[in-house]
Amino acid sequence: MKRHAALLLALLVFFAQTGIARAQQSSESRPGAATETLIRNATVLTVSHGTLRNTDILIRNGKIAAIGQNLRASPSARIIDATDKYVMPGIIDCHSHSMIDAVNEGTLSVTSMVRIRDVLNPTDVDLYRELAGGVTTLNVLHGSANAIGGQNMVVKIKYGRPIEEFIFPGAPPGIKFALGENPKRSNFPALPGQPRRYPATRMGVEETIRDAFTRARNYKAEWDEYRARLARGEKNLIPPRRDLQLEPLVEILEGKRLVHAHCYRADEILMLIRLADEFGFKVRTFQHVLEGYKVASEIARHGAGASTFADFWGYKIEAYDGIPYNAAIMVRHGVNVSVNSDSDERARRLNIEAAKMMKYGGLTEDEALKLITLNPAWQLGIDDRVGSIDVGKDADLAIWNGHPLSVYSRVEMTLIDGEVFFDRQQDLARRAELERERAQLEQAEPNRPPAQGPAPAVPRPRRTAYEYADDIWDGGDYDQ
């Protein structure tokens, strides 16, 4: 009996161990995830410590393990010859509405309870197109219809993987705020028979946010008191009723949730700074912030970042004072500045957007590159993981056939956590096969025009490069 028990135990231990081994193996069997990758002989734009010529990057377990010359890798390592090529950190887009099936919960002006996490669609093909532009990380934001919008989600573009693998591990949670024309709905006439939504002025936008934080303060006090009494050992206490709208706002007050505030005019930027100072929280980023250059010192003093367009302007009244020198002026005033896309189209060429900032205001190459790498990483609280090429950071990299700040350059390869998610040569090699597949699908019975009944959908209208709205999505419809 005892011997049997011992045998059973041994067997259990054995299975348990092989089980663990199997689990480890499965996590390591992905190409590039655990095996080593060596990028050889590249020009490395580290962003944090200058440009290194003829340099190798060794990637191990998805992290940058070494940077230097003549690095050695294990015999099984994948070797990428990057002679005459440029490697930069994967681009971080600090304002995206890619991969979401809904942008705005536009029925209330405070919707802090809704989550972008719930509407992420990992099969959005624009994600692949963004990878092909060297983008690896997105700040996926709720739209700007509401003074306090929904909760954001920071993702890595692991296109082709289940949604769980997109979630950026450890990225601090955030939330969208919005000021000006969009939350007051001035460009969106009310539907017939429906009253206009409050607020309708910039005064009302301020009051809406003030009211929400006043309620959040009360709510926090109720919980603080409850927890204090619990700690004192009081019995038979009834906890306060949970409020899913106010909980995220309490997290803001406690410094646990980052505020990304859509704004344009200088007056509304100052409004939010004063309100945040009064309630004792920080705005992490002002988004768009087209008139940030008029109040750059105030933004710097508050400690907020600014995430703006390079030169997109004039598409509505509050964008009419937008100037392409905005980023440079704010940089020179000590603001942490990023350049974002707010567009699946523009996201594919953020390198060009960054390069423009050398012309408009005279940023250096490194300063321009920071606008799309290290600075947005700080703005999202993930600069310990991504944004520069440093040992220990995630191997999120874009390999270019020329300097990425040149309009003539294009991406050859994009890696995330050391894995290749875009490879131009592979893409080109697969085109004939996809062409055949498309032809076959067109011939397939379900795709033939029906003899009767409703006809197939009419093709969608064209998707233009310049869409005159912020927080646009999927074909250029305004946020609602």
Residues of this chain that bind other proteins (CB under 8 A): 125-126, 128-129, 132, 181, 186-188, 191, 293-294, 296-297, 311-318, 320-321, 323-325, 329, 332, 344-345, 348-349, 352, 355-356, 358-359, 361, 405-410, 427, 431, 434, 438, 449, 454-466, 468-469, 477-478, 480
Closest distance of CB 282 from other proteins, Å: 22
Closest distance of CB 332 from other proteins, Å: 7
**Closest residue by Cα to residue 153 from 121, 197, 178:** 121
> Which residue's CB is nearer to other proteins, number 274 or number 438?
438
Helix axes 266-279, 202-231, angle to 10 degrees: 20
Helix (H), strand (E), coil (C) string for 409-435: CCEEEEEECCEEEEEHHHHHHHHHHHH
Q: Where are the alpha helices (DSSP H) in 95-199?
A: 125-131
Q: Find the distance separating the first CA and the last CA of the chain, reported in whole Å.
A: 72
Closest distance of CB 386 from other proteins, Å: 23
> Which residue's CB is nearer to other proteins, number 14 or number 468?
468
Closest distance of CB 75 from other proteins, Å: 34
Closest distance of CB 286 from other proteins, Å: 16
CA–CA dist 341, 96 (Å, integer): 7
> Which residue's CB is nearer to other proteins, number 63 or number 316?
316
CA–CA dist 3, 119 (Å, integer): 56
Map tokens 């939010």 to a residue.
Answer: 272
- Burial of residue 31 (number of CB atoms within 10 Å: 0-12, 13-18, 19+): exposed
Closest distance of CB 128 from other proteins, Å: 6
Closest distance of CB 150 from other proteins, Å: 17
What is the token pair recorded at 370?
A: 């920071």
Q: What's phi and psi for 477, nearest 5 deg? A: -80, 145
Sheet holding 258-263, edge to edge: 148-151, 174-178, 258-263, 285-288, 305-308, 336-339
> Which residue's CB is nearer to other proteins, number 1 or number 455?
455
CA–CA dist 453, 440 (Å, integer): 24
Rounded to the nearest angstrom, the gap between the alpha carbon of residue 394 and the centroid of all alpha carbons in its chain is 16
> Which residue's CB is nearer to other proteins, number 26 or number 443?
443
Closest distance of CB 152 from other proteins, Å: 21
Q: Where are the alpha helices (DSSP H) in 138-239?
A: 202-231
Q: Kindly state the helix (H) or strand (E) to which residue 40 belongs, with its residue range.
A: strand 37-45
> Which residue's CB is nearer to other proteins, number 170 or number 314?
314
What is the token pair recorded at 106?
A: 């536009």
Closest distance of CB 195 from other proteins, Å: 17
Closest distance of CB 183 from other proteins, Å: 14
Q: What's phi and psi for 105, nearest 5 deg? A: -90, 85
CB distance 98 to 383 below 8 Å? no
CA–CA dist 96, 474 (Å, integer): 11
> Which residue's CB is nearer to other proteins, number 18 or number 187?
187
**Closest residue by Cα to residue 264 from 326, 222, 211, 339:** 326
What is the token pair recorded at 323?
A: 């100037």
> Which residue's CB is nearer to other proteins, number 132 or number 250?
132
Length of the chain (residues): 480
Closest distance of CB 232 from other proteins, Å: 51
> Which residue's CB is nearer to other proteins, number 90 or number 324?
324
> Which residue's CB is nearer to other proteins, number 245 or number 406?
406
> Which residue's CB is nearer to other proteins, number 125 or number 244?
125
CB distance 445 to 435 below 8 Å? no
